Amino acid sequence: MDALFDGLLEAFLEFLFDLVFDESYLSSENSKLPKPIRYVIFIVAALFMVGLILAILGFGIYILPTTKAGGIALIVLGVGLLFIVIRQVRKVSRKRKEKKQDVFSADYDPSEQR
């Protein structure tokens, strides 16, 4: 029974993460969606990611007095995830700025984008 529960929980979490991360990323780049909807999707995904990282950090701090190794491991994992998210956000924003600058340059050719 526990194996069935673990399998269902794993499938649910995989679906949830796939929905939040992959679909929000794809929809944020889709120009067919109105901007307010894209912003709401982005904000929901960002809040979910921040909440997840804060939950990992908080749980690490919570179990630190009882289990030093586990607490430190969770804190390191949370800080590592935080740095990865910050790096990815910077990379994406830099790429979007470069793309926006290319659009306004004199030698821009819209047929090269496809």
| pLDDT, tens digit, 9 for 90 and up, residues 50-59 | 888 899 999 9
Q: Tell me which amino acid residue 86 is.
A: I
Q: How far is CA 12 from CA 5, 15, 16, in A?
A: 10, 5, 6
* Span 25-40, pLDDT tens digits: 677 677 777 878 778 8
**pLDDT at residue number 66:** 93
In this model, does residue 63 exceed pLDDT 90?
Answer: yes
Distance of CA 82 to the CA centre of its chain: 10
Considering the chain, what is the average pLDDT of its residues? 78
pLDDT band at 17 (very low <50, low <70, confident <90, very high): confident
**pLDDT at residue number 60:** 92
Where along the chain do its domains lie?
2-96
Q: Show the tokens assigned to 91.
A: 């990379």
d(CA 101, CA 99): 5
In this model, does residue 4 exceed pLDDT 90?
Answer: no
d(CA 89, CA 96): 11
Element housing 104 (H / E):
helix 68-104
